[in-house]
Structure 1
Amino acid sequence: MRIATGDDPFVVEILPETPSTNAVLAQRARQGAPEGLVVVTEHQTAGRGRLDRTWETPLHSALTFSVLLRPPAEQVPAERWPWLPLLAGLAVTTALREEGYAAGVKWPNDVLVAGADGDRKVCGILVERIEAATGSTSGPGPAAVVGIGINTSLTAEELPVPTATSLAIESGGLVDRTAVLRHVLRVLFEHYADWVADSESLRPAYVRASATLGREVRAELPGGGTLVGTATAVDATGRLVVTTPQGDRVVGAGDVVHLRPAR
């Protein structure tokens, strides 16, 4: 089922159930679907996160959707694409803050809600670059599929890990998933338009929304190494600057297996 959204720059397609909204939208992207297509599912059975982590949530307990973006090549060269996950995390954080949640973005793009017993994850994001179909000489170029999963109505007993939470738990009431979806999408496309026009426009807002900067962190690296220091900045390409006794180290999202508090 497709839902027209008036003047909004997106069209929403709702699927009763699917293994992965990212997989569905990636296929549509390869077939030439336009920017602004959003695929939402009532029940995702094989969601994927960073490093191919998978999960399944109970029916109607989460807001799970993917957004198709096609950054114009003449304005957004490939080296700017690593900012897309941060942009998405900032958009969700901004929307949830406007809904009254104490949200913050953990670098690069997890969304947390602050509580008396610490920060708990409420949203995960996975951005995938989809190339044009092999042999294609016309039509749209590369696309970004932005997959977003927000825990909306999960109960404490349904949480996948003790460090997770849901909007219902945090608010103590019912959550209108449709209203949250529209709010997040509108903020996402506003941030996206700003970013396309000016690559530096979102960095100040991201810094203000960060739940990572200024904290002692431990980055677990591929191969078993670790990097411990203070997260001090996010650079122009979206990489995290960690200040250690040996000096500043810069890591990208692909360089880190896990980023956790040092203590």
Structure 2
Amino acid sequence: MTAPSPPLPLADAVAPLLRTTRFGRALRGYATVPSTNTLAAGWAAEGAPEGAVVLAEYQTAGRGRLGRTWDARPGQNLMFSTILRPTLPPDRLGLITLAASVAVAEAVEAFTAPLVPAIKWPNDLLLEGRKCCGMLLEASFEAHPGGRAAVILGIGLNVNQFEFPPALADRATSLLLAGGRPVPRAPLLARLLERLEIRYEALLRDGGASIRAAYLERLDGLQQPVTLYLADGSSRTGILEGITETGALRLRTPDGPRVFHAGDVTTSPTG
């Protein structure tokens, strides 16, 4: 069983600000957890409704894409996971993180204008070329009786963190550092959940057409030379031409057009 959550000020603060139908209406908040994705998967197996959210001020074992860890300062950022039960073919599930990256960019933009967030394929959010948000989509293979299997969307957004470890200082940022002013987290989270619900429902409705169009408008490096670093240590260089219908990367290499489903993109050929 998923442990009951004690009162969390941020969770209490966001509840009256919600303008969603489902997202965040069921919400569990924790001061410290190993991973919000892990707790959300357990809650999903117990029958949590779609749009239920697990929120934490700090994760001791947060996970990121490509097996990386996600570490952020307690009480300064947003770390949460949303339970989804999508009616999408398996090859379209990757579009969920594309939809989420657009939703987060739209939510963030309301607080960082005139700065415009960009998206680094597949789902990192950039402000002034530095990463401020990452996401991880994981399958939850246990469906509650009579229900659809869930996927868990984890999001980590650097909001008011004012310093980073030396290894990340030249690559990471926060809304505070980029915009020069602190951002109230409860209104930001309410706005984020609203945009996430809107973009997710659009994805289910049209199969991804509107998401791909909005995504390409923000895609960092589009029609520019990029280098894609692969999990085996190799790399491919070419012109970033866009994405496929399932969200894979389209790269025009010296050997011809290629499609990639995973990797780390940089606009710097030397990394």
**TM-score using structure 1 length:** 0.89
Q: Which residue is equivalent to 2:159? A: 152
Do structure 1's residue 68 and structure 2's residue 83 form an aligned pair? Answer: yes
Match of 1:85 among 92, 97, 112: 97
Confirm or deny: 8 A CA contact 2:32 2:56 kept in the other structure.
yes
- Report which stretch shifted further, 181-190 or 208-217: 208-217
| 1:100-249 matches, cutoff 5 A | 100=113, 101-114=115-128, 119-133=129-143, 138-157=145-164, 161=168, 162-199=170-207, 200-249=209-258
Q: Which residue is equivalent to 1:252? A: 261
CA distance in structure 1 between the partners assigned to 2:19 and 2:239 by the alignment: 45
**Residues 261/6 of structure 1: CA separation in 2 closer, same or farther (3 Å cut):** closer
CA distance in structure 2 between the partners assigned to 1:157 and 1:35 by the alignment: 34
Confirm or deny: 8 A CA contact 1:153 1:167 kept in the other structure.
yes
Do structure 1's residue 8 and structure 2's residue 21 form an aligned pair? Answer: yes
**CA shift at 1:6, angstroms?**
6.3
Q: Which residue is equivalent to 2:35? A: 20
CA distance in structure 1 between the partners assigned to 2:47 and 2:138 by the alignment: 16
CA distance in structure 2 between the partners assigned to 1:222 and 1:112 by the alignment: 22
* Deviation sequence 1:70-100 (CA, Å, 0-9, x none): 113xxx2222112111111111112112332
Confirm or deny: 8 A CA contact 2:229 2:236 kept in the other structure.
yes
CA distance in structure 1 between the partners assigned to 2:231 and 2:134 by the alignment: 21
CA distance in structure 2 between the partners assigned to 1:58 and 1:77 by the alignment: 37
**CA shift at 1:19, angstroms?**
1.3
- Report which stretch shifted further, 157-166 or 101-110: 157-166
**Residues 185/105 of structure 1: CA separation in 2 closer, same or farther (3 Å cut):** same
Letter in 1 for 2:148: G
**CA shift at 1:201, angstroms?**
2.1
Confirm or deny: 8 A CA contact 2:19 2:190 kept in the other structure.
no
| 1:37-48 matches, cutoff 5 A | 37-48=52-63
Structure 1 or 2: more strand by fraction: 1
Letter in 2 for 1:90: V
Structure scoring higher RCO (CA < 8 A, sep ≥ 6) equals 2
**Residues 55/197 of structure 1: CA separation in 2 closer, same or farther (3 Å cut):** closer
* Aligned positions, number: 250
Unpaired runs of 5+ residues, structure 1, are none
* Deviation sequence 1:122-168 (CA, Å, 0-9, x none): 001001111125xx7x3212211110001111113557602100011
Letter in 2 for 1:262: S
**Residues 159/151 of structure 1: CA separation in 2 closer, same or farther (3 Å cut):** farther
CA distance in structure 1 between the partners assigned to 2:71 and 2:30 by the alignment: 16
SS at structure 1 position matched to 2:33: coil
Do structure 1's residue 36 and structure 2's residue 48 form an aligned pair? Answer: no
* Deviation sequence 1:206-236 (CA, Å, 0-9, x none): 1001113222111112322211001011110
Confirm or deny: 8 A CA contact 1:131 1:141 kept in the other structure.
no
**TM-score using structure 2 length:** 0.86
- Sequence identity, in percent? 36
Confirm or deny: 8 A CA contact 1:48 1:54 kept in the other structure.
yes
